[in-house]
């Protein structure tokens, strides 16, 4: 007897969205987990379509939920079962943002709800989606703008309210709106050459031969991808580790640190490994890098990537970066601290909905603990980089002031060759990149020495 398990695109997408929400996985990891149980001739086509759905629904989730909540009247999407709420999001996304005929979008979702739940629930969802079909979003936004400007901007640009308020306070209204707009634009890809296998000119020639048009960047070993015929991740040189995908600002960290061949380097929050592997390449595989991370699963993925890239001087350690110490001190330390990821919304829109002020306060305490531990591990004449992909002062400049005044670090006057200055009294000695100004993740870097 042959049995076939069939699943619709809407069920796949709802599964992925629910994994992202309930287990706080990245969209990439959730997609991988769900597609492990999917097979068939159209698997890759379905995978691409599911990824596009997930990315756009996460990007526009505030706007989608605003429509649903307006129709619900009395309850909210956050009160519903997560899987059911995600099915409703898919239906609203299709009819309001993707241009699917409303009757088709509604019928597809109602059929899944009837199968997964029951007839009364299917009738409830049918009524909700019919209401969403007739909902005048522009009229509702205009009304909201008159009484709540922050709420209007939050829904219009689909960002958390706290983020909108914070960005306006930090950057002013005009630049904050530019940042919100930029976060919602298409992803920008950067590739970093792996000098253990090739050089930047050869890489650029190879990419051009394969229909990938690139431009040079302020970082000598990084190229900006302008357009492509074939996604770079499908090229042979990517599979063989001749280059990696790494954001422009992220790739600046290893250059600022400037690890030398033969040194001992510690990466206190190493996974997924981009900065670790970059440092290894700059060290020409000489010396030692101890790469610490609390996630064994992510360390195992790093181990496989090391083989592909030809990295041989990295020792992976499963440990807590707030507590790890080694027998000897380190010449250099990378602390790319866990953060709110509020600078990566264009690349990972799902993280928009993951943090609130209370959770960010807890993250800041982790960052401070990791800074204290970095000081314990750093040699007396050693140097380290502290970086985050966050826009916030409390995760960046305020932490550096804490490191100077309370821990004993000194701020190294590094000659940053691009980017913007930061804030507070140390602003002219730290690095800031912004999505709307530099076409990459919003990012922070400071270089510290042991005082």
Active site residues: 389
β-bridge pairing 314-318 and 288-293: parallel
Angle formed at CA 384 by CA 313 and CA 296, multiple of 5 degrees: 50
CA distance 340 to 351: 8
Q: Where are the alpha helices (DSSP H) in 5-148?
A: 9-23, 27-35, 43-59, 61-72, 82-92, 102-116, 119-133, 137-147
Q: How far is CA 75 from the centre of its chain?
A: 31
CA distance 386 to 97: 40
DSSP β-bridge partners for residue 211: none
β-bridge pairing 264-267 and 330-336: parallel
Query: Would you say 423 and 393 are in contact if contact means Cβ atoms under 8 Å apart?
Result: yes
Closest alpha carbon to 53 in 7, 6, 100: 100
Burial of 320 per CB tally in 10 Å (0-12, 13-18, 19+): middle
Closest alpha carbon to 186 in 155, 216, 225: 225
Structure tokens at 396: 């960046």
CA distance 63 to 297: 34
Angle formed at CA 201 by CA 199 and CA 202, multiple of 5 degrees: 65
CA distance 18 to 174: 35
Structure tokens at 209: 């031969």
Q: Residue holding tokens 């496989």? A: 304
CA atoms within 13 A on the CB side of 258: 9
SS3 315: strand
Phi then psi for residue 247, to 5 deg, are: -60, 150
């Amino acid at each position: 007897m042959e049995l076939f398990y069939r699943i619709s695109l809407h069920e796949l997408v709802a599964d992925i969205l629910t994994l992202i929400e309930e287990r706080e996985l990245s969209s990439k990891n959730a997609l991988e987990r769900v597609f492990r149980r999917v097979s068939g001739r159209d698997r890759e086509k379905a995978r691409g379509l599911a990824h596009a759905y997930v990315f756009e629904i996460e990007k526009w989730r505030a706007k989608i939920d605003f429509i649903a909540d307006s129709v619900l009247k009395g309850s909210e999407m956050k009160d519903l079962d997560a899987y059911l709420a995600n099915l409703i999001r898919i239906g609203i996304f299709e009819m309001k943002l993707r241009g699917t005929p409303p009757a088709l979008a509604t019928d597809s979702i109602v059929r899944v709800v009837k199968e997964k739940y029951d007839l009364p629930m299917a009738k409830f969802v049918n009524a909700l989606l019919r209401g969403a079909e007739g909902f005048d979003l522009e009229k509702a936004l205009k009304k909201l703008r008159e009484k709540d400007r922050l709420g209007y901007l939050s829904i219009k640009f689909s960002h958390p309210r706290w983020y909108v308020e914070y960005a306006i306070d930090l950057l002013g209204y005009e630049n904050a709106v530019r940042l919100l707009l930029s976060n919602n634009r298409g992803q920008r890809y950067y590739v970093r050459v792996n000098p253990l296998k090739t050089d930047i000119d050869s890489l650029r020639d190879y990419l051009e031969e394969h229909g990938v048009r690139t431009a040079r960047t302020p970082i000598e070993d990084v190229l900006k991808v302008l357009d492509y015929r074939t996604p770079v991740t499908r090229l042979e040189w990517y599979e063989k580790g001749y280059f990696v995908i790494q954001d422009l600002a992220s790739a600046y960290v290893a250059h600022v640190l400037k690890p030398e061949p033969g040194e001992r380097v510690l990466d206190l929050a190493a996974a997924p490994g981009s900065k670790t592997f970059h440092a290894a390449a700059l060290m020409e595989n000489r010396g030692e890098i101890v790469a610490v991370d609390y996630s064994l699963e992510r360390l195992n993925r790093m181990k496989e990537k090391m083989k592909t890239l030809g990295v041989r001087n990295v020792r992976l350690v499963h440990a807590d970066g707030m507590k790890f110490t080694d027998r000897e001190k380190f010449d250099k330390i990378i602390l790319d601290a866990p953060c709110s990821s509020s600078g990566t919304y264009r690349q990972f829109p799902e993280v928009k909905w993951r943090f609130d002020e209370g959770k960010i306060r807890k993250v800041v305490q982790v960052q401070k603990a990791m800074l204290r531990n970095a000081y314990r591990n750093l040699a007396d004449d050693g140097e380290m980089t502290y970086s985050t992909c966050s826009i916030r002062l409390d995760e960046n400049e305020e932490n550096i002031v804490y490191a100077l005044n309370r821990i004993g670090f000194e701020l190294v006057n590094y000659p940053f060759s691009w980017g913007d200055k930061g804030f507070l009294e140390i602003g002219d000695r730290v690095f800031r990149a912004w999505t709307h100004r530099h076409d990459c993740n919003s990012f922070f870097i400071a270089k510290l020495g042991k005082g």
